[in-house]
Amino acid sequence: MKVSDIRNYFIDELKNENFTIDKTGQKTIEVIGASFLADEPSIFGTPNQEYVDKEILWYITQSNNINDIYGDDREPPQAWKYSANKYGEINSNYGKLIYSDKYYQQYGMAVDELTQNPDSRRASMIYQRPSIWMEYDENGKNDFICTNAVTYYIRNGKLDAVVQMRSNDVVFGYKNDYAWQRYVMAMIAQDLSGGNKFYTVGTLHWQVQNLHVYERHFDLVK
């Protein structure tokens, strides 16, 4: 399946009014166990490139505070405010999860693994953690990390990746997560290239336990 297939699925689900009601009483349309090639940067809507760039830079800083996203007086996006506690703290700074000493410098570990063994199946970066059960609502947070893990493969001179997600909002979540994962793939391909080796960014596989559209975004589907 490709993004176009996922798009058509949601269009049909909305036409058929196959709704699931979430904890807030809002209608959603969903796919459980979605798996497709992420061959487009958006399923519905247009990516906000200014915001995408800001979020990636914020991830690189490894700050766990959403008030640092823009670096100015602008309010953070509503989705992040919903996830944060009253201090602006969250769990899901993806840069911190893959770059920091606290989480074992997983980015560097994955690059080293692929450098030493290009055929490896171990080049994984694990975003989720068992302790999230104790941390997701800590001090008023509502942030149960959405990405479980990403694994990277070198095949036929290209760097492929498989993203595995617990939960993914089609409209905002997918676009921003896609941009981040493409960025990380490009950085890994660059770090692996050198001497007589050159790798290009290949296929991005997207696997989601629950892929969904909220009622407030049904107009985009229509």
Q: Which residues are catalytic?
A: 146
CA pair distance 59, 96, nearest whole angstrom: 7
Question: What tokens were used for 113?
Answer: 């693994």
DSSP state at residue 104: T
CA pair distance 187, 20, nearest whole angstrom: 38
E-strand spans in the chain?
20-21, 27-37, 124-126, 147-155, 158-165, 168-169, 200-214
Per-residue HEC secondary structure of 17-69 comes to CCCEECCCCCEEEEEEEEEEECCCCCCCCCCCHHHHHHHHHHHHHCCCEHHHC
- For the chain, what is the radius of gyration of the CA atoms? 18
